[in-house]
Amino acid sequence: MKLVQRALLAQISLLILLTGCASQGVNFTCPVPPTVVACSSPALVLKQELDSMIARELLPYSVASIKVVSLKSGVTLYETNPYQLMPPASVQKLFTAAAILSRLGPDHTIETSVAISPDNNTLYVRGCGDPLLKTADLKQMVSELSGKLSPGRTYKLVGDTGCFDETYWGSGWMWDDEPGPDAMYLSALSVNGNTVRVTVSPGQAAMLPLKVSTEPATRYVEIENTGKTGKPGGPCAVSVTRPAGDRDNHIRISGLLAPGCSSVSRRLTVWRPELYTLTLLAELLQQTGTKTTPLKLGAAPPDAEKLAAMRHQVSEIVSVVLKKSDNLGAENLLKYLAHTKSGQKGTAAEGAEVIKEYLRQNGIATNRLVIADGSGVSRYNLTNADTITRLLVAVYRDQAIYPFFVNALPRAGKDGTLVRRMKGTPAEGKVKAKTGTMTGVSALAGYTVTTDGEPLAFSMIMQNFVGSEQRVRNLQDRIAVLLSTFSARPPDI
């Protein structure tokens, strides 16, 4: 009888051991007793370590939504609160980038052009939201116009912004982000990020006005300079701003800069970017002897003859949007998605529907997803780690766009918004991911490769923390390093 009991107990023990190992979802055979220690699989060790880090550094006051998936096997290596909805901050740009690469292709170009009316009296400047357009591009178009315009003639200059609606700001944006360059106004005619750079430096002697310059130099902004040059050894304290809600592009400069103080440079948004673009073009035309009448908006006739154009590829724009986390680029791409689908004035809401359509085509549910804008500035955006990771998997499987998408992502310790993160760690150069930051929210989502060469997709959003996001970023970096050094091979016995 004792012999039977011992045999039965041995069988039960073995069954419990094997069941425990199988529950970890790993693809290796756990050894039988007496070598019980080997049953701690690498995946279980990874889970325990990540759970411990999150509990120690976030809980109970803050929350994290994290998911890590093998792109080779499709197995979920780790997850915690994967369905918890949170604002993703700038990780939202991944949705915009993937959708436009898939729908239009990386070689598609967005054009800004100058055309002339059949009666040769009116120049039409038509834009579709190229966010990379700079003053240098306008100069290039003016150069192309040389010889095509009548010397000494005065032309009407009209802006055609029919590609987009007239909504200048995103839904759910914060009023007090203005006039920072990341909360720029939106328009189908955009230039210089819809900002102007103002540089202030000490004057020649104490109590003389501060020296002020703008880039580009333009009459579109008005400068009120009450700042003074201080006494030697005095303070270096100056304010350069445009009052929130200002509609006159009135820039105020105040304070003191003592001799020897470094120059202060600020990028500030401008109201009515389409008129800003037209003003810069008119000023450049005037330098070549071509005069224009007061500026206005209107649609270019179908028979207007194109005289000059500037184009940028979608792949170029996506690279800037993801590497530099460019908000204007993401917002303009969102509206451009809508415009290319309907042929009408593109809106953010219609662009969001195009993104959702792309997600559904890839088997990603959209019934618990809020897309309020293209950049992630809005607090109305809601998603989770599961949805973001599914997006990353879908892009990885689409080799027509994946190379452009992954190369546009910041590389840890190398470039973009990750240039100073994970430097000197095993994750340097391996982690390619989009960052996201707003008050109380920090996110990181992208790709890495394990020690075994296994590609992973990961997403993590952390929110409801107080103070600097640096502590949370450090946690994200340690998690990314842990994933990059992970090995699924069982330890040697």
Which pLDDT score, from 0 to 100, does residue 151 have?
A: 83
Q: Are 278 and 133 in contact (CB under 8 A)?
A: no
Per residue in 422-439, pLDDT (tens digit) is 999 999 999 999 999 999
Report CA dihedral (127, 131, 137, 142) to the nearest 10 degrees: 20
To the question of domain 43-106+314-484 being in CATH 3.40.710.10, the answer is yes
CB atoms within 10 A of CB 47: 17
User: How do residues 232-285 score in pLDDT, each as one tens digit?
Assistant: 999 999 999 999 889 999 999 999 999 999 999 999 999 999 999 999 999 999
**pLDDT score for 143:** 97
Query: Alpha-carbon dihedral of residues 15, 17, 19, 24, nearest 10 degrees?
Result: -170
pLDDT at 40: 65
The tokens of 489 are what? 């091979």
Give me the helix-helix angle, 470-484 and 42-57, nearest 10°: 170
Kindly report the pTM of this predicted structure: 0.90
Residues of the chain with pLDDT under 50: 1-39
- For tokens 């509206």, what's the residue? 335
Query: Helix H segments across 251-384?
Result: 273-287, 314-323, 327-342, 348-361
pLDDT given for residue 244 in this prediction? 84
